[in-house]
Amino acid sequence: MRTAGDLVARVQLSKKLRINEAKKYVADKLKIGVEELCDPVIMSEVRADLGFGVMMPLGGTPKGLECKFNIARVLDLDINCLNRFKRMAGL
């Protein structure tokens, strides 16, 4: 969560992509350069702007499951627990 490792890992898992392809996928979706994915200064801003969750979350910012909705939407991924959440909440 300092950078984009969790996001790239999600893409590796759901799309079985090798590292370079997974990084490119995430960078394209975030509209940033691949080299910026591992920069904590840039990525903490990107994460805060997109509501992806940060290492030091303040009050009033998205956290946990809320962030996963944003991640799923921006990265165009299906996140398993969100489907369960919607099912359980009758959404």
- Interface contacts to other proteins, rule CB under 8 A: 1-2, 5-6, 8-10, 12-14, 16-19, 22, 34-35, 37-38, 52-53, 55-56, 63-65, 67-68, 71, 78-81, 83-85
Compute the least distance from the CB of residue 31 to other proteins, in Å: 18
Compute the least distance from the CB of residue 80 to other proteins, in Å: 5
Residue 34: exposed, middle, or buried by beta-carbon count in 10 A (0-12, 13-18, 19+)?
middle
Calculate Rg over the CA atoms of the chain.
13
Compute the least distance from the CB of residue 28 to other proteins, in Å: 16
Nearest to other proteins of 16, 31 (CB atom):
16
Q: Give every CB contact of residue 43 below 8 A, 6+ residues apart in sequence.
A: 2, 3, 4, 36, 37
Nearest to other proteins of 35, 45 (CB atom):
35
